[in-house]
Chain A
Amino acid sequence: MSSIEFRKDLFADERDDTLVEIGKPHQRQDILGHVTGRTKYYDDHLFDGLLHMRCVRCPHHHARIRSIDTSAAKRMAGVVRIVRPADVPRNLNTLLSLIAFGRDDEALLQPETCAYRGEPVLAIIAETERAARLACEAVQVSWEVLAHVLDVEEALAPDAPVVNPEYPNNSFDYYDRYDHQKLRFGDVEAGFSQADHIVEGEYQMSPIEQAPMETCGAIAAPETNDRYVCHTATQALFFSLGTTAKLLDLPSSRLHFIGGTVGGGFGGKVDSIVEPMAVLGARLTGRPVKFMWDRPEEMQVGAPRGAERWRIRDGVMADGRIVARSFTGFFDAGAYTRLSSYAIVKGVGHLPGPYTIPNVAANVYCVFTNRTPATAMRGFGITGVDFAIECQMDRVAEAAGLDPIALRLINAYRDGDMKAHRRVAKNTALIECCQVAAQKARWPLPAELERLSSREGGGVGDRAALPETVTDQVGRIGERRRGPVPTAPHEATGPKGRVAAGTQGVAAVAAAPQRADMQIDPARIGHRTDTPTVIPAAAGLPAQPSPQSSPQPAPLSHSASTPVRSPGPSLPPGAAAPSAAPPAAAPPTKAPPTTAPPPTAPPGAAAGQPPAPGSPAPPAATSPQPAPYTPDKPFTRGVNRPGVSRFLSGTRRR
Chain B
Amino acid sequence: MPKTPVTFTLNGAETAVFVDPGANLLDVLRRGVGDLSPKQGCAQGGCGACSVRIDGALHLACLTLAETVEARRVETTGGLQQGPEPHPLQTAFMECFAAQCGFCTPGMLMAAKTLLERDPAPSREAVIEAISGNLCRCTGYEPIIEAILLAAQRMQGRAA
User: Which positions in A face B, CB cutoff 8 Å?
Assistant: 1, 3, 25, 27-28, 30-41, 43-44, 46, 211-215, 262-266, 294-295
- Known A-B contacts A36-B77, A37-B106, A211-B137; the reply to A264 vs B101 at CB < 8 A is yes
Main DSSP-derived SS at the B contact region = loop
- Measured between beta carbons, the chain B residues less than 8 angstroms from A265 are 101
- In angstroms, Cα B90 to Cα A46, docked, is 26
Inter-subunit contact A37/B94 (CB<8 Å): no
| CB pairs A–B below 8 angstroms (30 shown) | A1-B143, A1-B146, A3-B142, A27-B95, A28-B100, A31-B102, A32-B86, A32-B94, A34-B93, A35-B102, A36-B78, A36-B81, A36-B86, A37-B36, A37-B38, A37-B105, A38-B37, A44-B36, A46-B31, A212-B103, A213-B39, A213-B47, A213-B49, A213-B101, A213-B136, A213-B137, A214-B39, A214-B103, A264-B138, A295-B41
Question: Which of B41, B106, B138 has most A Cβ within 10 Å?
Answer: B41
- In angstroms, Cα B137 to Cα A46, docked, is 26
Inter-subunit contact A294/B43 (CB<8 Å): yes
Inter-subunit contact A33/B94 (CB<8 Å): no
- Measured between beta carbons, the chain A residues less than 8 angstroms from B143 are 1
* B144 CB, min distance to chain A CBs, angstroms: 11
CB of B109 within 8 Å of the partner chain = yes
- In angstroms, Cα B143 to Cα A651, docked, is 55
- Measured between beta carbons, the chain A residues less than 8 angstroms from B103 are 41, 212-214, 263-264
- Measured between beta carbons, the chain B residues less than 8 angstroms from A264 are 101, 103, 137-138
- In angstroms, Cα B136 to Cα A295, docked, is 15
CB-nearest residue of chain B to A40: B36
- Known A-B contacts A34-B99, A36-B78, A263-B101; the reply to A213 vs B41 at CB < 8 A is yes
Q: A1-B97, A34-B99 are in contact. List 11 more A-B contacts (CB 8 A).
A: A1-B96, A25-B96, A34-B105, A35-B94, A36-B90, A37-B77, A37-B106, A41-B103, A46-B31, A212-B101, A213-B135
- Measured between beta carbons, the chain A residues less than 8 angstroms from B37 are 36-38
- Known A-B contacts A1-B96, A35-B109, A264-B138; the reply to A43 vs B102 at CB < 8 A is no
> Which listed residue, A31, A39, A41, A213, touches B94 by the CB 8 Å rule?
A31
* A46 CB, min distance to chain B CBs, angstroms: 7
* A212 CB, min distance to chain B CBs, angstroms: 6
- In angstroms, Cα B105 to Cα A43, docked, is 16
CB-nearest residue of chain A to B135: A213
- In angstroms, Cα B35 to Cα A40, docked, is 11
- Measured between beta carbons, the chain A residues less than 8 angstroms from B101 are 34, 212-214, 262-265
Inter-subunit contact B41/A28 (CB<8 Å): no
- Measured between beta carbons, the chain B residues less than 8 angstroms from A213 are 39, 41, 47, 49, 101, 103-104, 135-137
* B113 CB, min distance to chain A CBs, angstroms: 12
Inter-subunit contact A263/B44 (CB<8 Å): no
- In angstroms, Cα B89 to Cα A31, docked, is 13
* B44 CB, min distance to chain A CBs, angstroms: 6
- Measured between beta carbons, the chain A residues less than 8 angstroms from B57 are none
Inter-subunit contact B97/A35 (CB<8 Å): no
CB of B5 within 8 Å of the partner chain = no
What 0/1 readout, one digit per residue, does chain B (16-50) give for beta carbons within 8 Å of chain A?
00000000000000010010111111111011010
What 0/1 readout, one digit per residue, does chain B (64-91) give for beta carbons within 8 Å of chain A?
0000000000001110110000100110
- In angstroms, Cα B105 to Cα A294, docked, is 20
- Measured between beta carbons, the chain A residues less than 8 angstroms from B95 are 25, 27
CB-nearest residue of chain B to A37: B37
- In angstroms, Cα B143 to Cα A382, docked, is 28
* A6 CB, min distance to chain B CBs, angstroms: 16
- In angstroms, Cα B77 to Cα A92, docked, is 44
> Which listed residue, A27, A31, A212, A295, touches B43 by the CB 8 Å rule?
A295
- Measured between beta carbons, the chain B residues less than 8 angstroms from A25 are 95-97
* B65 CB, min distance to chain A CBs, angstroms: 14
CB-nearest residue of chain B to A262: B101
Inter-subunit contact B105/A295 (CB<8 Å): no
- Known A-B contacts A28-B99, A35-B86; the reply to A212 vs B93 at CB < 8 A is no
- Measured between beta carbons, the chain A residues less than 8 angstroms from B97 are 1, 25, 27-28, 31
CB-nearest residue of chain B to A292: B40
Question: Which of A213, A264, A265 has most B Cβ within 10 Å?
Answer: A213
Inter-subunit contact B137/A41 (CB<8 Å): no
- In angstroms, Cα B143 to Cα A1, docked, is 7
- In angstroms, Cα B43 to Cα A28, docked, is 28
* B60 CB, min distance to chain A CBs, angstroms: 14
The 5 closest A-B pairs by CB, nearest first: A37-B37, A34-B102, A263-B103, A213-B103, A35-B90
- Measured between beta carbons, the chain A residues less than 8 angstroms from B99 are 28, 31, 34-35
* A360 CB, min distance to chain B CBs, angstroms: 33
